[in-house]
Amino acid sequence: MIFRQLFEPDSSTYTYLLGCRRTRQAVLIDPVLDTVHRDLEVLREEQLTLACTLDTHIHADHLSGAAKLKAITGCCIAYPEPEAPECADVRLRDGQVFDVGDVPIEAVFAPGHTSHHFCYVVDDGTHKLAFTGDVLLIDACGRTDFQSGDAAALYKSIHERLFTLPDETLVYPGHDYEGRFVSSIAQEKKRNPRLGGGKTLDEFVALMNALDLPYPRKIDFAVPGNRQCGQCPPDVPEQYRAPCDTHEQG
């Protein structure tokens, strides 16, 4: 398997490129509109053809690159079946395996950050890799105070869908704000400040309800835009319009 971890600094988002060495087909997990041209250059460097984009959920902190990448490459767009936008070509169900050449990607329903969030698990023959989106972060987890978030559901998803994976499973999060790149299930079970060390459900819910986080600065245009696979709504503020203008110019 060909693997690249790519970073978009404004929203601190990780995009993951997974490619099949035999077929030269690839998928991008959680592409960002701002970095579409970087992603295309990486695909060219690796001599890969983009088969599909694959989002973990309807993002609130950035616009997806899915629509732009489809317009340029003709790739398909895949989303989790719950709340999948009409523009999605593939709607993934819990437990479904989405094959990119010889790379099997298992879809895992893990609500809590949003009501429709999926994680994706890949077995490369040596390790399991869990692409956890905004559900499980390194030493943290996604917030639960918007988009039908639910702290109790998030706790259940992490403990029943992710912490049941083998301890050596590598955790690749959707974001990191501290310059970290990868963790493991064993590490998160032991030392995650919000979830590890045997934290109870009641302790976790109380902690999440007390976070008092700021209102997401892009949510008002990102969510409606991502319901169209990353199309820019007309109300995108001027300071965030540059990727949209490029998008419109094609």
Tens-place pLDDT, residues 83-100: 999 999 999 999 999 999
Question: pLDDT at residue 180 above 70?
Answer: yes
User: Could you tell me if 106 and 99 are in contact, meaning their C-beta atoms sit under 8 angstroms apart?
Assistant: no
Section 186-213 average pLDDT: 96
Q: Can you tell me which residue has the tokens 């110019």?
A: 249
User: Could you tell me if 76 and 51 are in contact, meaning their C-beta atoms sit under 8 angstroms apart?
Assistant: yes
Beta carbons within 8 Å of 11's beta carbon, 6+ residues apart: 32, 61, 62, 175, 218
Percent of the chain predicted with pLDDT > 70: 98
Section 147-154 average pLDDT: 96
Architecture of the domain spanning 2-213: 4-Layer Sandwich (3.60)
pLDDT digits (tens, 9 = 90+) for 48-89: 999 999 999 999 999 999 999 999 999 999 999 999 999 999
Section 114-118 average pLDDT: 97
β pairing state of 140-141 and 136-137: antiparallel
Give φ, ψ of 187 to 5 degrees.
-65, -45
pLDDT at 247: 47
pLDDT at 245: 81
pLDDT at 67: 98
Q: Is the dihedral of CA 205, 208, 212, 217 positive or negative?
A: negative
CA distances from 139 to 1, 103, 136, 169, 207 (A): 27, 28, 8, 15, 14
Section 176-198 average pLDDT: 96
Kindly report the number of other CB atoms within 10 A of residue 185's CB atom: 22
Section 129-154 average pLDDT: 97
Question: pLDDT at residue 138 above 80?
Answer: yes
Section 35-60 average pLDDT: 98
Q: Is the dihedral of CA 147, 152, 156, 162 positive or negative?
A: positive
Query: Across-strand partners of 109?
Result: 118
Q: Can you tell me which residue has the tokens 């390194």?
A: 138
Confidence class for position 246, pLDDT limits 50, 70, 90: low
The closest alpha carbon to 137, from 55, 192, 219, belongs to: 192
In angstroms, the first-to-last Cα distance of the chain is: 31
Section 190-216 average pLDDT: 95
pLDDT at 249: 39
pLDDT at 250: 39
pLDDT at 133: 98
